[in-house]
Amino acid sequence: MAICFDNTYAQMPDRFFERVKPASAPEARLLRVNGALAGELGIDAAWLDSPAGTAVLAGNVLPEGADPIAQAYAGHQFGGWVPQLGDGRAILLGEVLDQTGRRRDIQLKGAGRTPWSRGGDGKSPLGPVLREYVVSEAMAALGVPTTRALAALATGEKVLREDERPGGVLVRVAASHIRVGTFQYFFARDDPEALRLLGEYVIARHYPELIGVADPWMPLLEAVAKRQAKLVAGWMQLGFIHGVMNTDNMTVSGETIDFGPCAFLDTFSFGKVFSSIDRGGRYAWDQQPAIAHWNLARLAECLLPLVSGGDEDKLEGANCALSHFEEHFQEAYYRGFANKFGLRQVGGQTGLWIRTSLALLEKAQVDFTRFFTALGQAAGGDETPLRGEFGNQGDLDGWLAEWRALTDNDPDLVRMSESNPRRIPRNHRIEEAIAAAESGDLAPFRRLVDGLASPFEEDPDFVDLERSPQPNECVNRTFCGT
Ligand code: AMP
Ligand code: MG
């Protein structure tokens, strides 16, 4: 068997999913296979690259052992309740146990309609497929938990959006696709039995340390909150703005999911928003922890019916579990930024100092990623690149004196180089790669993926990927592009 499936979600009760078959795409072409990830999954990358492998990835042939399903979920989108969402353009082919014994989902995104498609076509344009490939793989290389990309395909078909676009399929790999919205789906249907089964499944798959714990639901909530706190802190330290942190786009595994309108900051700004549909700035860079907390409160509501005891005790338990989110977030955020700045210690004033430093970047309109790369060079003795990032040297002089004092003139060079990437998937590069691919030239996409595979290493072949966009290259709006 080319892929050793071992499916468990498809054994859940029928109301958790619908059995579906991927649509076929006879003209499909494989654009990229992720050889390293295939290896992790114990799948032969050469086979994926062959006609037989491509036929499976394109949805044309169902591999032995697959049990394809579309999962049910609901969610709050921009704060508004949607009782039924579900996999409308994604099909879970099955699960595999990877080389370390970790269970991973293999999903085809853009492989046709499912019972949850509503008015949609279940397809995906090629642009969002390539965007997700680039950004999710960069995120993994940057060390942040994320769903992965096993392959990108062009279907050879046209999909109709504002205009006709080439179609694509992304083969997504995830620790699981269970979302806060999966719990909400059953909560809204007043189905505590399903909630309990789902909760037990999540504990077994993602939080095995809670197996056998009596009344594990609030410990589960706190464990999910802890992973989300670290995740959001990790995003913010990279200048990442998720852009669509709806409850259906928040996994309980703690992986980043959904790369629709996401973007990385070029110049730093606390309230930066890229997504064209986020008019109120709900998912701005600095709103992300508050939104994660709000989403976790929705998860708390779903778990409460499972908790034993009186109503007041239950509420107090939930509030207590949620209250730890802020602590976990601050710990990860302060420690992470301290590393970026080369501070060896986190103290009572660190949070305020980080904020003041970021305010300086915002005021001076400095590029977030380049600033930290240049600060590393300053720490190593060369201030020239850092000075080059600032128009007004006066602002920088005062700050540098403070920074030198705080680090006792001995910044932690190792932590700085390990937490300050040189290259991030900049928006203008992604758009450039997509535009080229749409007109048949895949070279910029391939080069972008390659250049982002080791983002912390200096690499003279990819210095162009370190550059900020020129004013005429700036991309300030991103679109869901579904
Ligand atoms: P998203 O904005 O990507 O998180 O998707 C929100 C919901 O819309 C999910 O239920 C998707 O499955 C569904 N959806 C998005 N695009 C399509 C499409 N092209 N066809 C069918 N359903 C879709
Ligand atoms: Mg989504």
Which of 420, 449, 469 is a domain's end point?
A: 420
At residue 220, what are phi and psi to the nearest 5 degrees? -65, -45
Reading the block at residue 64, the tokens are 């032995």
C-alpha 258 – ligand 2 centre gap (Å): 5
Q: What residue's CA is closest to ligand 1, atom 19?
A: 122
For ligand 1, is residue 132 a contact (CB within 6 Å)? no
Burial class (CB within 10 angstroms; exposed 0-12, middle 13-18, buried 19+) of 422: buried
Domain range spanning residue 155? 9-177
Select from 17, 117, 482 the residue to mutate for testing ligand 1; criterion: most ligand atoms less than 8 Å from CB: 482
Interval 412-441: pLDDT, tens = 999 999 999 999 999 999 999 999 999 999
Rounded Cα distance between 390 and 365, Å, is 8
Same domain for 172 and 224: no
Same domain for 215 and 279: yes
Which ligand number lies closest to the CA of residue 73? 1
C-alpha 204 – ligand 2 centre gap (Å): 24
Q: Which residues pair with 94 in a beta bridge?
A: 106
C-alpha 84 – ligand 2 centre gap (Å): 13
Same domain for 347 and 199: yes
Which pLDDT value is given to residue 482?
Answer: 63
Quick check: is 39 in a domain?
yes
* Integer CA distances (angstroms), 161 to 124, 175, 315, 344, in order: 10, 31, 45, 51
Same domain for 221 and 116: no
Which pLDDT value is given to residue 166?
Answer: 97
Pairing assessment for the beta strands 240-241 and 263-264 based on DSSP bridges: antiparallel
Torsion of CA 249, 253, 257, 262, to 10 degrees: 90
For ligand 1, is residue 75 a contact (CB within 6 Å)? no
Mean pLDDT estimate for the chain? 97
Interval 246-256: pLDDT, tens = 999 999 999 99
Interval 467-479: pLDDT, tens = 999 999 998 888 8
Q: Which residue has the tokens 């798959």?
A: 205
Largest CA distance in the chain: 67
Quick check: is 282 in a domain?
yes
Q: What residue's CA is closest to ligand 1, atom 4?
A: 249
Contact 400, 423 (CB under 8 A): no
Same domain for 155 and 213: no
Ligand 1 atom closest to residue 85's alpha carbon, by position in its atom list: 10
Same domain for 229 and 137: no
C-alpha 168 – ligand 1 centre gap (Å): 15
Same domain for 198 and 159: no
Q: Which of 248, 258, 278, 367 is catalytic?
A: 248
- Model confidence at 481, pLDDT cuts 50, 70, 90, reads low
Same domain for 195 and 173: no
Pairing assessment for the beta strands 103-109 and 90-97 based on DSSP bridges: antiparallel
Interval 329-371: pLDDT, tens = 999 999 999 999 999 999 999 999 999 999 999 999 999 999 9
Which pLDDT value is given to residue 30?
Answer: 98
Which of 376, 402, 420 is a domain's end point?
A: 420
Same domain for 230 and 118: no
Rounded Cα distance between 205 and 103, Å, is 8
Quick check: is 426 in a domain?
no
Same domain for 165 and 143: yes
Residue 248 annotated as catalytic: yes
Quick check: is 479 in a domain?
no
Cβ-based neighbour number of residue 441 at 10 Å: 12
Cβ-based neighbour number of residue 272 at 10 Å: 19
Ligand 1 atom closest to residue 88's alpha carbon, by position in its atom list: 12
Quick check: is 28 in a domain?
yes
Q: Where are the alpha helices (DSSP H) in 281-347?
A: 288-303, 311-341
- Among the listed residues 198, 175, 190, 186, the one whose alpha carbon sits nearest the alpha carbon of residue 253: 175
Quick check: is 225 in a domain?
yes
The predicted model gives 25-42 an average pLDDT of 97
Read off the pTM: 0.98
Rounded Cα distance between 138 and 450, Å, is 9
Q: What residue's CA is closest to ligand 1, atom 23?
A: 88
Quick check: is 468 in a domain?
no
Same domain for 306 and 167: no
Contact 179, 250 (CB under 8 A): yes
The predicted model gives 134-140 an average pLDDT of 98
Interval 53-90: pLDDT, tens = 999 999 999 999 999 999 999 999 999 999 999 999 99
Quick check: is 1 in a domain?
no
Which pLDDT value is given to residue 477?
Answer: 86
At residue 32, what are phi and psi to the nearest 5 degrees? -160, 135
Q: First CA to last CA across the chain, in angstroms?
A: 33
Same domain for 142 and 207: no
C-alpha 122 – ligand 2 centre gap (Å): 13
Q: How many domains does the chain have?
A: 2
Q: Using the predicted structure, report yes or no on whether residue 151 has a pLDDT greater than 70.
A: yes
Tell me how far the alpha carbon of residue 315 is from its chain's centroid.
30
Which pLDDT value is given to residue 437?
Answer: 97
375 three-state secondary structure: helix
Long-range contacts at 443-446 (CB < 8 A, ≥ 24 apart)? 445/31, 445/32, 445/130, 445/133, 445/134, 446/32
Which of 114, 142, 177 is a domain's end point?
A: 177
Cβ-based neighbour number of residue 274 at 10 Å: 21
Q: Which residues pair with 18 in a beta bridge?
A: 70
